[in-house]
Chain A
């Protein structure tokens, strides 16, 4: 007689964490399959993370076509060099997003795109996405992690949150943030550190 599983676990953070663990394990397994040339595994990771990767790239470079190119390049690297992923350093999803972010920031810096950015919003990007912490909260299907990251961002003191957003989402360097906010460079650095410490504690809590 098969063992009967009784749903005694309360619905809440425990379930979310279990889902996160399963999701992370699934991602690592998919990367291992990609190392063996498994296209279906690649498509699966792409379907899961390309929309978030696209959101990040669009947010940083503000050009849909360029953002799409950045996402393609990041996933091309995943396909060609999955062995570069080091699971001791973090999760697959953070690794993918970091690749996208580095490329997007490189593009912004190299082409000085921020000076040429259009004020027009890109097709497919909602106005609310201007401020990620004000992004749609009504998305009932949003993963717990997304809510947690948004909540953590929102919980930061405004000056720390501003520094994180300007650097990460707008691709500004430390000096550019100092210039834009009028804060001394040293203050910008300490705000970035304090903000990241706080965000990191949230991430570590999520992973425990």
Chain B
């Protein structure tokens, strides 16, 4: 049984669940939770307060929603896919650059002889596009092999003191592959993780401390094929 004091963590988790936590205390909470490591009591407190806060909203009298709103959400999902397809040149350029970089990285990693056709590595590569509100984000990886390149353009700044954090999600468990911030909207990040066993890749906006668990909702997501 843990002898650790959870008083501070409990207080700050309650505030965070209510949406009242400020950045300084948020940093304190992250540090305290990181110090507790794999802490079952921390998870229990966190889940309990999140569930409680989520249910607080049901105290309000529901507000009628236009019937067609569900259709609009689905339409937006389709349109964003359509918009992706309508940007072949941009996508093609993005993919070409990313694929070229992966080939270079693969070549460097395996020290292939120069005479071996480098194109031989390409059929095993997969390219996935992230869904998100702004810009374009793609990832290239070789199934079953470690390493993936994430490349983006036209991305909004995550904000002062913030960074993008990239997650591999298998089932419902997110695992961080690292943090990266765009420069002038462009981002190039390489991870040595094997992403191919994941179901979903997600990107969240986090503090630059790059937390071990996501604290915000994804701003970009991609489903692996």
Contact = CB atoms under 8 A, between A and B. Distances in A.
Given A81-B221, A83-B172, A132 B60 contact: yes
**Interface range on chain A (Cβ under 8 Å from partner):** 35 or more
B22 A83 contact: no
A105 to B, nearest CB: 4
A98 B217 CA distance: 10
A103 B11 CA distance: 22
Interface in B20-46: 20-22, 25, 46
Contacts of B76: 72, 76
A55 B60 contact: yes
Contacts, number: 205
Using C-beta atoms within 8 Å of the partner chain, give the interface range for chain B.
35 or more
A71 B66 CA distance: 12
Contacts of B50: 89-90, 94, 98
Interface in B187-217: 199-200, 202, 216-217
A84 B59 contact: no
B18 A83 contact: no
B112 interface: no
Interface string A139-170: 10001011001100100000000001001110
B88 interface: no
Interface stretch (B67-75, B100-108, B138-146, B177-185): B67-75
A35 to B, nearest CB: 9
Given A42-B70, A83-B199, A174-B22, A146 B11 contact: no
Nearest to A153: B59
Contacts of A56: 57, 60
A153 B54 CA distance: 14
Interface in A49-66: 50-56, 58-59
A76 B57 CA distance: 19
Contacts of A47: 70
Given A173-B20, A173-B22, A76 B61 contact: no
A168 B69 contact: no
Given A76-B77, A97-B54, A200-B52, A174 B65 contact: no
A114 interface: no
Nearest to A189: B11
B70 A58 contact: no
B47 interface: yes
A188 to B, nearest CB: 8
A86 B172 contact: yes
A200 B20 CA distance: 17
B84 interface: no
A149 B61 CA distance: 12
A102 B217 contact: yes
B21 A199 contact: no
Contact of B55 (A46, A58, A94, A132): A94
Centre residue among A42, A96, A98 by max chain B CB count within 10 A: A98
A53 B200 contact: no
Closest A-B pairs by Cβ, 6 of them? A94-B54, A51-B62, A86-B172, A167-B20, A90-B51, A56-B57
26 contacts: A46-B70, A46-B73, A54-B63, A54-B64, A55-B60, A72-B69, A79-B77, A81-B200, A84-B200, A85-B172, A89-B47, A90-B54, A91-B54, A93-B54, A93-B58, A97-B57, A129-B60, A139-B61, A167-B19, A168-B53, A168-B56, A177-B20, A196-B14, A196-B53, A200-B51, A203-B55
